[in-house]
């Protein structure tokens, strides 16, 4: 855009030189200069409007980012609590299953002992008859 502005000024200067060469009055030069300044002010205002829009968008994004950062923090905290709870469930399940297996093994042993004793009692009863 600086390059375009310089080209614009050069064209205006050439036009001025051409007009001066033809005996143009100082008033024509003054009018051209005023127009050039007005054009520059219009371009500045357009850029200023764009800056204001960008600043508004930036502020909105920063507010959104703050809200999202808070949400992310809360979700991370909740996830940590839930993962810890899940790990405690896993531990409890593992311990309970281990105890259950011991109960099953003990039940099998008890059943075997009971069967042997029953057989032994039956044999004693039969031998006493």
Residuewise pLDDT in 10s, the chain (129 residues): 667 776 777 676 666 655 554 555 666 777 888 888 899 999 999 999 999 999 999 999 999 999 999 999 999 999 999 999 999 999 999 999 999 999 999 999 999 999 898 888 888 888 876
The C-alpha atoms of residue 129 and residue 122 are separated, in whole angstroms, by: 11
**Cβ neighbours for 16, distance < 8 A, ≥ 6 positions apart:** 24, 28, 29, 32
pTM exceeds 0.85, yes or no: no
Instruction: Spell out a b/e string for 51-79, using b for 16 or more CB atoms within 10 Å of the CB, else e.
Output: eeeeeeeeeeeeeeeeeeeeeeeeeeeee
Residue whose tokens read 């300044």: 37
pLDDT value at residue 33 = 81
Residues 93 and 96: their CA atoms lie apart, in Å, by 5
């Amino acid at each position: 855009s600086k390059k375009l502005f310089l080209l614009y000024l050069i064209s205006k200067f050439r036009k001025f030189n051409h007009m001066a060469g033809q005996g143009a009055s100082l008033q024509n030069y003054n009018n051209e200069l005023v127009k050039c300044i007005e054009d520059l002010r219009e371009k500045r205002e357009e850029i200023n409007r764009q800056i204001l829009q960008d600043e508004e968008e930036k502020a909105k994004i920063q507010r959104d980012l703050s809200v999202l950062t808070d949400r992310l923090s809360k979700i991370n905290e909740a996830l940590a609590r839930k993962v810890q709870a899940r790990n405690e469930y896993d531990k409890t399940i593992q311990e309970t299953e281990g105890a259950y297996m011991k109960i099953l093994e003990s039940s099998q042993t008890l059943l075997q002992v009971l069967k042997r004793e029953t057989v032994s009692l039956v044999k004693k009863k039969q031998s006493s008859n």
